[in-house]
Structure 1
Amino acid sequence: MLGSDWPVHVSPLTRIVPLSPRVGGGWGTIVVTSANGAAALGRLGLDPRIPVVAVGERTAEAARQAGFAARMRGPDAAGLARALIADPPPGPVLHLRGAEGAGDIAGTLRAAGLPCEEVIAYRQEDAVPTDAALSLLAGGAPVAVPLYSPASARRLAALPIRAPLLVAALSPAVASVAAAMAPERLVVASEPAGAFILRELRALVLP
């Protein structure tokens, strides 16, 4: 994708640990805000007849693959909350989320009079970078990095970095954390979706 001058090295900054909390029943709608949240739908034994609303089409597709009828209601958490307040879904609402997450969908919906509870379905932990990744970050050649969350940006910032960074951030919230690393270039995806962040990354490294 990036050409022979920019070999791709994969070294995740975050490790996902699935959890199996008790979620009970009686939910009218389920909200998922990540593919990891969607993956928890089946693991938690939720009824596949419950409609699912998702942040982003990728998350909605992950919910469909888990056997649930899902539709996207917003490109990010704030947009989804606005959509649900404007057009309330059947309640009560269950939000499956990770231990780390931007925004407070459950609190926002409750403040608008919609019953909503959140359940932590997975937690995020630091992943150990590969030796190759650490070597690249410690070198003198530019390193292009896509960052998908503020937590990932903080994890990157905690590593020893000497290389010039070219950062493509998923959102302004991610960019604000990444800016503390003083990257050589920092751009924000025009929409908070994977395809857009990869497009920005490509624009950073290709003439």
Structure 2
Amino acid sequence: MGEDRLVLVTRPEADAGRVVEALAARGVSALAWPLTEIRMTGAAAEPPAGTDALLFTSANGVAAFAAGSARRDLPALCVGPRTAAAAREAGFARVESADGDAAALARLAAAHGARRMFHPHGRDRAGDLKADLAPLGIAVEEAILYAAEEVADIPAPVRAALDEGRTAVITAWSPRNAAILTRRFAENPGWKPENLCVVAISSRASGPLSPCGFAALRIARRPDGAAMIDAILEAHRREPG
């Protein structure tokens, strides 16, 4: 295995930086390649009167809500450990984690007992909690507080790594993330997907990647950051170059 073969982390900058640091601590070199950046929409973050609980499907949702509302008294039901940690850091005292995906969060919400919930989220999201919970008599109000906007520029070190074939693994964190990645490869025929492995956070996120011709495609065991780190490390150990 070539020691200089890199992992490209395609999350927004702050999130990518955390993954790059985690990989470096395990002896794997990585570069951040933010395909999107988080921008606030300016929508109202205050939960409606009578709200019993909050639903958070990402740490970005927690941050967007915390920036626009002082409410910390409501229970925070979170999709996974990273989102739950963000909620605690934001000052929520009652935090529960579904330790899974949107479907797992819907199950947690159904068992919680609250009947009116508020779901602040991004423009692009996985699942439809409002539709999932409505048949159970649970009302979910929604607010789009942020959007992941595409970043056109490719960092020079990232472009050089792809042009020179020094990349081993690329990550995909959502269907939109994967769709942007697919288009970037189509626009740059000099890159060699047949020498690369892609690690996706879920089978849904992997869908847009099938036309690219990557050497391998791995799916994380769970749709969360810790499982992605494990999958990236495994893919890097077995990298196809």
Q: TM-score, normalised by structure 1?
A: 0.90
C-alpha change, 1:74 and 1:9, in structure 2 (3 Å) is closer
Aligned letter for 2:143?
A: V
Partner of 1:147: 172
Query: Which residues in structure 2 correspond to 1:8-87 (within 5 Å)?
Result: 8-22=30-44, 23-26=46-49, 27-69=51-93, 70-85=95-110, 87=111
- Structure having the higher helix fraction is 2
- Which string of whole-angstrom CA distances, capped at 9 and with x for unpartnered residues, describes residues 46-90 of structure 1? 4110111000110001011111132102411011112322x1432
Query: Does structure 2 retain, via aligned residues, the 8 Å contact 1:189–1:197?
Result: yes
In the alignment, the residues of structure 2 paired with residue 78 and residue 94 of structure 1 have an alpha-carbon distance, to the nearest angstrom, of 17
Give the whole-Å Cα distance in 2 for the aligned partners of 1:83 and 1:97: 17
* Cα shift at 1:197: 1.1
Structure 1 residue aligned with 2:26: none
Between 1:15-24 and 1:193-202, the stretch displaced more is 15-24
C-alpha RMSD of the superposition: 1.9
Alpha-carbon distance in 2 for matches of 1:138, 1:108: 45
1:93 aligns with one of 117, 128, 144: 117
Corresponding residue number in structure 1 for 2:20: none
2:77–2:108 CA contact under 8 A, matched in 1 = no
Q: Which residue of 2 aligns with 1:157?
A: 182
- Classify the secondary structure of the residue corresponding to 1:9: strand
Classify the secondary structure of the residue corresponding to 1:50.
Answer: coil
Aligned to 1:42, the other structure's residue is in SS state: helix
2:25 equivalent in structure 1: none
Deviations, residues 143-176 of structure 1 (Å, cap 9, x unaligned): 3112111111111111125223211110010112
Question: Which deviates further from its counterpart, 126-135 or 188-197?
Answer: 126-135
Q: Distance in 2 between matches of 1:109 and 1:205?
A: 40
Deviations 1:125-158 (A, max 9, x none): 0123212222333344443112111111111111
Question: Aligned partners of 1:167 and 1:9: how far apart in 2?
Answer: 15
Count residues in correspondence. Answer: 205
Distance 2:234 2:165 in 1: 21
- Structure 1, unpaired ranges of 5+: none
| SS at 1:48 equivalent | coil
Q: Partners of 2:140 and 2:107 in 1: how far apart?
A: 14
5+ residue gaps, structure 2? 7-28
Say which SS state the counterpart of residue 158 (structure 1) adopts. Answer: helix
CA contact (8 A) 2:4 2:166 kept: no
Aligned-partner Cα distance in 2 for 1:16–1:92: 28
